[in-house]
Chain A
Amino acid sequence: MQGPSDFEVSRRKLLLGTAASVAFGATPFAHAQTPAVPAQADVADTVSMSKVSFNVNGSLREIALDTRTTLLDALREHLHLTGSKKGCDHGQCGACTVIVGGRRINSCLTLAVMHQGDSITTIEGLGTPENMHPMQAAFVKHDGFQCGYCTPGQICSAVAVLDEIKAGIPSHVSADLNAPLQLTNAELRERMSGNICRCGAYSNIAEAISEVAGRPA
């Protein structure tokens, strides 16, 4: 895996600074009024810690965490695997999608302490810039992104979608629950509906997944 360059570190700090200034500005949204971090007194009085160990991308990791820490925050803030993204933080956008025990989940809607002994694959574990996973390569080839923020979640989701189809798990658009699945464009789109792309790169994402699945989009 590539180490973070100075540019990437400073870009992150810049983004964090920008996010903070937005949070303190006047905003009409109720959600923004929920403090992103608990008040100081709260932390001093009642913080509850717990230890958890799980396997991330093939390495055993053991961390002591505030029980409130989501799997996403554990991956990003504690293990510095910042490929998985925090979009909505409420399970609506799919940017945080990782694969746990072979299944895709929203890492923002699960507590890290609930994953004792689990095997977790993040975008960093699928491939590297030098040795990309076929799905990563297909996203690059088909321009399956613009800004790239949702892309790690899209790719983790897409890899798991093809496994779900192989396992015969039906979807809302499967015509017959008891017949073999047809790998249609409609199937891929329905199965990927938990991953939002605000840039709207959907048609290219569908083409990338179709290529890996071995069918024309």
Chain B
Amino acid sequence: MKSFSYERARTPAEAAASALRRPDAKFIAGGTNLLDLMKLEIETPAHLVDVNGLALDKIEATPEGGLRIGALVRNTDLAADSRIRRDYGVLSRALLAGASGQLRNKATTAGNLLQRTRCPYFYDTNQPCNKRRPGSGCSAIGGFSRQHAVIGASEACIATHPSDMAVAMRALDVTVEAVRPDGTTRNIPIADFHRLPGDTPHIETTLQPGELITAVTLPKPVGGTHVYRKVRDRASYAFALVSVAAIVQRDGSGRVALGGVAHKPWRVEAADAELPRGARAVATKLLANARPTRDNAFKLALAERTIGAALTEAKG
């Protein structure tokens, strides 16, 4: 691990200003992903701004009838919150499907959104990777690509976003609240928060330099039956090959988002309209422009079947 200086931030704006002053700085909250990457020298910050003391660990009701989740709320606490379990079950289920008990106790809401890909070529510092070293090439293209993206990828990168939580948040249409270094705040719809790789796969979100996530806001509950279905190589503690976040209403309408298939949680609003017509119709719309590799073409059929399983589960 490269050496770094360390400070404990006292306010969100101070943390953001501190990070802007030093382009080689990183925020650290749970640290479960960042420290892993620092040990491998994939991340090499020269300065760490510890944001754990910022009192962003509350889940509060909003005037609109939703919930404002502080950036530092731990995954365990978010999944276990009685309001989340009752009104946003898909979020609770997605969180519980991810990582291990130890990691969920430490990992934060904002950190989960900012997780980096688990592409094995991103992790292997001996291999070219446009995400790790821009311009060096993509080893996954033409490599072993079973886990990789089937849609929204580019010639520069076919990595997937690893989060389960973010898939449920995409289905729930959350808003990400961030503070800028000058102390002003802005709200970013989750649909616009993560980027597709394009020719800059190293830029993964629309956050600007120094910007710090302070909260994630859930709109008022939409009702319906909430299902999160995850298919992976082990029964527990593994990343998704394909996952489905579905919210289904009594009349068969609803929303669906996919994980494990793209560089961001994948939702196509036009596919939601197909829900009453069943899994095949939904999958066809969701994955209309899919371009799988030989290794991961199975994800197209798996996605359709997993949507089908989720819809069956939703019907009870």
**Interface of A with B (CB < 8 Å)?**
30-31, 33-34, 38, 42-43, 46-48, 50, 66-68, 70, 89-91, 94, 97, 103-106, 109-111, 113-114, 116, 157, 160-161, 164, 167-172, 174, 177-178, 189-195
Contact = CB atoms under 8 A, between A and B. Distances in A.
Contacts of B106: 105-106, 109-110
A87 to B, nearest CB: 12
Contacts of A47: 3
A91 B103 contact: yes
Contact of B126 (A33, A168, A195): A33
Nearest 6 CB-CB pairings of A with B: A194-B100, A193-B236, A46-B3, A193-B237, A177-B85, A169-B80
B85 A89 contact: no
A92 B93 CA distance: 21
A50 B100 contact: no
A160 B6 contact: no
Contacts of B154: none
B105 interface: yes
Which of B8, B103, B123 lies at the interface centre, i.e. has the most chain A CB atoms within 10 A of its CB?
A: B103
The binding surface of chain B is classed by DSSP as: mixed
Contact of B3 (A38, A111, A164, A172): A38
Interface stretch (B14-22, B29-37, B202-210): B29-37
Contacts of B80: 167-170
Contacts of B8: 116
B174 interface: no
Contacts of A43: 3
B289 interface: no
A106 B32 contact: yes
Contacts of B196: none
Interface residues on B, range: 35 or more
Contacts of B85: 170, 177-178
Contacts of A90: 36, 39
24 contacts: A30-B127, A38-B2, A38-B3, A43-B3, A48-B3, A94-B100, A103-B76, A103-B105, A109-B36, A110-B30, A110-B35, A111-B6, A111-B48, A114-B50, A170-B79, A170-B80, A172-B96, A177-B86, A178-B85, A190-B235, A191-B101, A193-B100, A193-B101, A194-B102
A194 B103 contact: yes
A171 B96 contact: yes
Nearest to A169: B80
B127 to A, nearest CB: 8
Given A34-B125, A169-B76, A194-B103, 13 more contacts: A42-B2, A48-B6, A67-B5, A70-B35, A90-B36, A111-B6, A113-B50, A170-B92, A172-B97, A177-B85, A177-B89, A193-B101, A194-B101
